[in-house]
């Protein structure tokens, strides 16, 4: 090792100075961590929190596509999308491709309350911005209903 004292440098003073810089960097990093935590909380309030048990959408996985057909007045058909995908639906859309009104219900397995019914006119689409596990399509009294579901 090179003798620092021969250069007129006090090794203890150099060590204290280095420790002061390390302490200052630690303090600055802690402040950055706190800022990031505050930003995460703010974004959570603005965009909603993703539950930890929900697998996020993976764009590399092809969507599950099916057409739900319901015939007869008041009949319904329920599709378990979680069973088809292997996870809770986080993205997708539902389109009425038939010529009659359809009533669509998005069902969450863990939900305490029943979901809201959506009336889909022919040619109309819904792009849900919430998580759901099952989809129920009900015939609305106008004849055969065909609803296309794309879920990821």
CA distances 51 to 74, 85, 149, Å, are: 35, 18, 23
Q: Is 26 part of any domain?
A: yes
pLDDT for 111 equals 66
User: Are both 33 and 68 inside the same structural domain?
Assistant: no
User: Are both 96 and 133 inside the same structural domain?
Assistant: yes
| pLDDT tens for each residue of 124-137 | 998 887 778 888 89
User: Are both 36 and 86 inside the same structural domain?
Assistant: no
| DSSP assigned state of 89 | B
User: Are both 69 and 142 inside the same structural domain?
Assistant: yes
User: Are both 35 and 97 inside the same structural domain?
Assistant: no
User: Are both 68 and 141 inside the same structural domain?
Assistant: yes
Residue 114 has pLDDT above 60, yes or no: yes
Range of the domain at 118: 64-151
pTM: 0.59
Domain count, the chain: 2
Least confident of 25-29, 53-57, 105-109: 53-57
pLDDT-derived band at 112 (thresholds 50, 70, 90) equals low
């Amino acid at each position: 090792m090179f003798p620092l004292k021969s250069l007129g440098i006090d090794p203890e003073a150099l060590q204290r100075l280095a420790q002061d810089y390390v302490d200052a960097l630690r303090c600055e990093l802690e402040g950055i961590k706190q800022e990031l935590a505050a930003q995460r909380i703010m974004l959570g309030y603005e965009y909603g929190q993703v539950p930890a048990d929900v697998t996020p959408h993976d764009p590399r996985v092809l969507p599950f596509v099916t057409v739900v057909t319901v015939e007869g007045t008041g009949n319904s058909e329920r599709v378990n999308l979680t069973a088809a995908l292997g996870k809770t639906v986080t993205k997708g859309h539902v389109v009425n491709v038939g010529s009659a009104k359809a009533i669509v219900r998005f069902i969450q397995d863990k939900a305490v309350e029943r979901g809201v019914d959506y009336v889909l006119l022919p040619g109309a689409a819904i792009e849900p911005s919430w998580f759901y596990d099952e989809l129920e399509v009900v015939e609305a009294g106008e004849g055969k209903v065909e609803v296309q579901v794309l879920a990821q």
